[in-house]
A and B are shown apart, each in its own frame.
Chain A
């Protein structure tokens, strides 16, 4: 049948399409107007093609049509007939094969959700241009968004793939071969779980399907605040073929509230009577996939009565404002407070005092993978496979909400396509669990992009004020900070933000007189939760921009001012904690001294030329620092690692630290390998799985390398000790693994342990170790005094940029980042964290603001594209922390904290513009430039 010739047959959408995909021709029954992405994934099982937006905004679904890149989500399947379709699974594309290898070598895939789209866009480019340069690569991948990598390693990998192996000259940036036993830590190895990410076989939440599977969609509030009543739900369901069930709060067997912090648990799976934010779920509809897809949810029997919302903390705190939750008067969720010395006296005695305010907006995590997952019953156990950063917390929440004992819930995470904090909270897990439990059938749910934007957590908007003083010598004498954070409708991580901010608001600097308060205030806005930095990035923006003004007032160089005030080992923080020898902020700042001088000189030269030529461009340089405590604030925070050796001689690492792209699978294995003295390439990983792998806690607070790393180090040493004891040797013996044998050599002595002769446990291990580590912290008292974290990480960055002073546009050209990681367990992965952090810091400064109802897609909500990234020069500083594994500290969140303030300081340096509201969109920058001109500040 030809669709090209209209006739009675062709005029029917029930068609059999002939699609030639990766060289194979398929006959597929599918509507010709169905999105090609959906046909590839659902009919042909080619799940390598990812769907991030269904709107052509993200490029994750890029495939080749006759060699040209298209978004499969915008392509009618019928348009692909008679043409050559290539997907990431293709085994026939030589360029793609080179790209896969190059992406692996360069660490260009982190979470992996954008990788198929990147690979296909790059493959199209290599068809056109054999050896593209970076600018050509940028143009070719500009249509594919990545949220993890900051694009740097992706561009390098594509350029490299084009050049071919012979011409490569920058091998220093590439992965090494597997290191020998005992030297895995510090090795620049490719990620252990990387292959699936470049072949399209990695399975994310939306990539799992089961026969007899039901599909779920949610009914959500269109209003930020509304009362609602259901109509005849049973009647509606009965009238819809293929709809199995409608579930609401009434159907939830357990408690209809959850929270990441138990004492604040307040968020229902289904709102009851009143919805408190736009996008809050009130019901789910469960049924056969085709029937669910065809539903018009606008017909769902629910009546809304819009109520007046409070959207800003100021309104929410006012007398008579609607109260979101009982027992939280003034809509105050929680208050964090730290004080030492006498701040007012300190300020009064200061030679120079500056003060300022800063307002930041909601920021969306915008991982390219919208939430997705599947759940099913297996031998009476509810099994949930979905995206997550915290499998153990998901299990606990599900058990509570579904009223199941813990052992009847198994969380088996799917590959997670980015998280950045939001996937710490449960999202669709209760709907998956409820549907599977009540129907007995597998149930799947995939959030649309709009749904993901509406329903999941955001970075807390902050309204902050501060005053900082210093003496004549430029020593900070006192700082007062007040931050009001819009925590939205439910608690989520609001208490963490309110508590973390006052601890960190000094920046990594001494402030002998200090008072900082953080308030988390409920509004009818989106739920604010965890987002890379828990409020610290917002506070650093104000503190670091005021530091520039203070340095200027004291007539000090801005970098020298920071070095003078930076913490040294032995100093006390604002919480009274004595810093150990791991305090490396001075090392970071001093490492920037040379780049700082060069950058200032370059900017001066360019500005002189621009002034002479009457050009609108001005160049500026800014610097800012960070510190960040790794792990929970003053709360227990354990990780457990299990490490076994099978009778066959295979070391198996039960590694439960969720790898959401950051690299825990690799880093934790590197640590465990060296602690045990076993070769890394022999280790087999068992991922997070609440049934098989002990809880390594959540992937948050930059804690995995440190906390789980310590547990892995302990487990490695314990396993080694067991083996040595069996061989009756000690200490520095060398272990060699063979099939069923471990050989232990010490000096000239050699012992062979016949593993097969030893009794194995239920999991097949003849030796097994399981070790837990919990950071030693102390609670904060009523003045916020205590030791809230056992390990801090440190960093400082320089931004160099150009401001178009006529249009207010900003172009960040170079970012030099010095980060003290204690010990870079894997330098390539550490660089990836810095580069990705810089990208998110840049967006925080320049682009992103989530406006409910207005930016609910990825073309109105802007995250950086490849062309927005500066050159990034990463300097990894290694000042070991006595508490960290092999001296290592956390890095994940640190990397984004200095970026935004460094950019704002550079904008001010370039143009005089002082921004008091973010993002620094062109209209705000231009207005600030105009204000600076009026106030006579130089430009």
Chain B
């Protein structure tokens, strides 16, 4: 195969002293980061849209060659999703029904192109109030693993990691290295509901994730989360508590999850996609739909296990 040289000589001389590093090892990445001054790049799906330039300004630490950040795998304490796992990797991974909400969200983050490169960790670090990955992970009681060269590893519950719109608890020399889902949260079944004004490539007006476990026809545990209706996506603990022990009956959901109770937990805003009052109105409905699908899925799961047992 022939090689061609394109403008090699001229451009080599012209560049300034920006740096670009693409390490293979996490420890190298952390050591570099400790020196400061880096823009961290993973899938690029939020970094590039933030500039009108053709190249990124400043020095760039590219994490996409660090294999240890990419896996989606069972660990001792539950499930570990590497910070640089792409949405495609989440879809492709064999995971229990509790992760169905996350897998469903993964199929709706942008189009295939975004899903091929966009990462779960990047979605959290970008901290958009409309990040589709956040409600499913909240419903999975996810925590975020952070690492730095000087201070080692720490973990934060996801709800404490995202501190506001576009704000996180990430330290200047820290990387998100993984999203951890505890063993307890891998039980039950989950579902994701996204509400938007078009079929693909749509920023959510609102979205909800629900995860439930069902025992003997009753709800044994419930985790409900909703996004794009408050500065940070949130759980609905009051409603979750009230659901426990109730019959897993789809018809009774309207009473168990009222519009008012859901709206009470939210503080939506008007934006070009929808009015605040609409979000308040729709939020209850999408929570109920996510919950209904999760319950149906959990019952099917129970039923199929029973069949297998027999």
Contacts and interface: CB of A to CB of B under 8 A. Distances in A.
Interface stretch (B7-15, B141-149, B165-173, B223-231): B7-15
Contact of A55 (B49, B54, B275): B49
Contacts of B49: 54-57, 74, 857
Contacts of A921: 197, 273-274
Given A922-B274, A922-B278, A76 B24 contact: no
A76 B21 contact: no
Contact of A79 (B62, B88, B286): B62
Contact of A10 (B21, B41, B54, B55): B21
Nearest to A143: B111
A298 B8 CA distance: 31
A846 interface: yes
Nearest to A42: B54
B44 interface: yes
Given A29-B6, A921-B273, A68 B111 contact: no
A854 B44 contact: no
Interface string B270-306: 0011110110011001100000000000000000000
A849 interface: yes
Interface string A860-874: 101011111000000
Given A13-B20, A70-B117, A849 B272 contact: yes
28 contacts: A3-B21, A4-B65, A10-B20, A12-B15, A12-B17, A15-B15, A25-B2, A27-B3, A27-B8, A31-B20, A33-B18, A33-B62, A43-B7, A65-B116, A74-B49, A75-B44, A76-B60, A78-B62, A450-B52, A857-B49, A862-B197, A862-B198, A862-B202, A867-B200, A868-B199, A921-B197, A923-B278, A926-B278
B8 A29 contact: yes
Nearest to A81: B22
Interface in A244-301: 290, 293
Given A13-B16, A54-B49, A121-B112, A29 B9 contact: yes
Contact of A74 (B18, B48, B54, B59): B48
Given A25-B3, A143-B201, A69 B16 contact: no
A33 B198 contact: no
Given A29-B9, A68-B88, A859-B203, A56 B114 contact: yes
Nearest to A927: B278
A26 interface: yes
A124 interface: yes
Contacts of B17: 12-13
Nearest to B86: A68
B23 A4 contact: yes
A809 B285 CA distance: 12
Nearest to B50: A55
Contact of B278 (A68, A73, A808): A808
A27 B6 contact: yes
Interface residues on A, range: 35 or more
Most buried by A among B10, B54, B285: B54
A29 B11 contact: yes
Contact of A866 (B110, B113, B199): B199
B5 A27 contact: yes
A11 to B, nearest CB: 4
A32 B20 contact: yes
Given A13-B18, A27-B3, A865-B202, 19 more contacts: A3-B22, A6-B23, A13-B60, A29-B6, A29-B10, A33-B60, A34-B55, A59-B111, A69-B116, A70-B113, A74-B45, A78-B62, A143-B112, A807-B282, A847-B198, A860-B272, A860-B273, A868-B199, A921-B273
B282 A33 contact: no
A851 interface: yes
B64 interface: yes
Interface string A442-471: 000000101000000000000000000000
Interface string B179-201: 00000000000000001011111
B57 to A, nearest CB: 9
The 6 lowest CB-CB distance pairs between A and B, nearest first, are A143-B111, A867-B199, A14-B15, A142-B200, A923-B278, A29-B11
Contacts of A73: 48
Contacts of B65: 4
Interface of A: 3-6, 10-16, 23-35, 38, 43-44, 54-57, 59, 62, 65, 68-71, 73-76, 78-79, 121, 124, 138-145, 290, 293, 448, 450, 806-809, 846-847, 849, 851, 854-855, 857, 859-860, 862, 864-868, 921-923, 926-927
B28 interface: yes
Nearest to B64: A79
Given A6-B28, A144-B111, A807-B285, A26 B3 contact: yes
Interface residues of B, number: 70
A922 B195 CA distance: 9
A75 B117 contact: yes
Nearest to B28: A6
A28 B114 contact: no
A32 to B, nearest CB: 4
Given A14-B12, A33-B55, A74-B117, A79 B112 contact: no
Given A12-B17, A35-B54, A807-B195, A124 B45 contact: no
B85 interface: no
A14 B43 CA distance: 22
Nearest to A18: B3
Contacts of B197: 809, 846-847, 862, 921-922
Contact of B201 (A6, A76, A142): A142
Nearest to A25: B3
Nearest to B88: A68
B54 A866 contact: no
Contacts of A4: 22-24, 65
Nearest to A867: B199
A846 B273 CA distance: 12
Interface string B18-55: 11111110001000100000000101110011001111
Given A143-B200, A860-B272, A922-B282, A26 B4 contact: yes
B113 A143 contact: yes
Given A56-B110, A76-B60, A31 B18 contact: yes
A15 to B, nearest CB: 7
Contact of A26 (B6, B12, B16, B199): B6
Contact of A864 (B18, B198, B285): B198
A65 B17 CA distance: 28
A107 B6 CA distance: 37
Contacts of B53: 293
Nearest to A34: B55
B20 A15 contact: yes
A865 B201 contact: yes
Given A70-B113, A79-B64, A846-B197, A16 B275 contact: no
B1 interface: yes
Contacts of A56: 45, 48-49, 110, 113-114
Of residues A59, A74, A139, which shows the largest number of chain B Cβ atoms within 10 Å of its Cβ?
A74
Nearest to B65: A4
Contacts of B21: 3, 6, 10-11
